[in-house]
Amino acid sequence: MKKKVLTVDDSRTIRNMLLVTLNNAGFETIQAEDGIEGLEILEDANPDVIVTDINMPRLDGFGFIEGVRRNEKFRAIPILVLTTESDAEKKNRARQAGATGWIVKPFDPTKLIDAIERVTA
C-alpha cells in the first residue's frame, strides 16, 4: 500500500515540485497551502508522514506542527520541516514544536525521499 505524504507549503512552485518528486517515488501526496488548511485536512488525509514549510501565511510551520501534535491521532507522526532557513535557533524552535527532522531547500529529491523513508516504517 502506498505511503501517504501530507505536504504543506504556500509556494505553488514548491508544491508542484513536491508533488512530482513524491508521486514519482511512489507516494500518495496530499497538499495544503498553509498551516490552517493543513490542520483542516489532517484527519481526512490521514497521512503517514508530513512535510511542511515554516514561513506561511495564516498559520506558520511552528504553529502547524504544534497543532498536529495536539491531535491524539498524530502525536507521533513523523514531521519533516522543509525550509530555506537553517539557523540553529529556528531548528530548535521547530524541534520544540515537535518536528522530527529538517531538510533544507532547495531540496535534493533523493535526499527528501530518503528522509521520508527513514522516518516511516
Partner 1 sequence: MDMNEIKEIFFQECEEQLAELESGLLRLNDGDRDPETVNAVFRAVHSIKGGAGAFGLDDLVSFAHVFETTLDCVRSNKLEPNQDVLKVMLKSADVLADLTNVARDGGSVDQARSAQLIRELEALAKGEAPPAAAPVAAAPKAAPVAAAPAPVVSDDGFVPVAFSFDDFGDDDVSADLPAYDVVFKPKSELYTKGNEATLLLRDLSRLGEMSIHCNMDSLPSLDQMDPEAAYFSWKVSIKTDKGEDAVRSVFEFAEWDCDLEVTALETGETPEANGDDLPMQPVPFDLSALDGELDAPLGVVEEEEQIAAVQEAVAAAEAASNVVQMAGNASRAAASDKGAAAAAAQNNAQQVSSAAAPTIRVDLDRVDRLINLVGELVINQAMLSQSVIENDSNGVSSINMGLEELQQLTREIQDSVMAIRAQPVKPVFQRMARTVREIADITGKSVRLVTEGENTEVDKTVIDKLAEPLTHMIRNAVDHGLEMPEKRLAAGKSAEGTVKLTAKHRSGRIVIELSDDGAGINREKVRQKAIDNDLIAADANLSDEEIDNLIFHAGFSTADKVSDLSGRGVGMDVVKRSIQALGGRINISSKPGQGSVFTMSLPLTLAVLDGMVVTVAGQTLVVPLTAIVETLQPDAAAIHSFGATQRLISIRNSFCPLVDVGRILNFRATQANPVEGVALLVESEGGGQRALMVDAIQGQRQVVIKSLEANYTHVPGIAAATILGDGRVALILDVDAVVSASRGQSLHTETSLAAAG
Which residues lie near partner 1 (CB under 8 A)?
A: 10-14, 16-17, 19-20, 36, 55-60, 62-63, 66-67, 69-70, 72, 75-79, 83-84, 86, 88, 91, 95-108, 110-112, 114-115, 118-121
Shorter beta-carbon distance to partner 1: residue 44 or 77: 77
Please give the Cα distance from 96 to 100 (Å, whole number). Answer: 10
- Is the torsion defined by CA of 78, 79, 82, 87 positive or negative? negative
For partner 1, the closer CB: 44 or 106: 106
Q: How far is the CB of 67 from partner 1 (least distance, A)?
A: 7
CB of 57 to partner 1, least distance (A): 6
3-state secondary structure labels for all residues of 13-62: HHHHHHHHHHHHCCCEEEEECCHHHHHHHHHHHCCCEEEECCCCCCCCHH
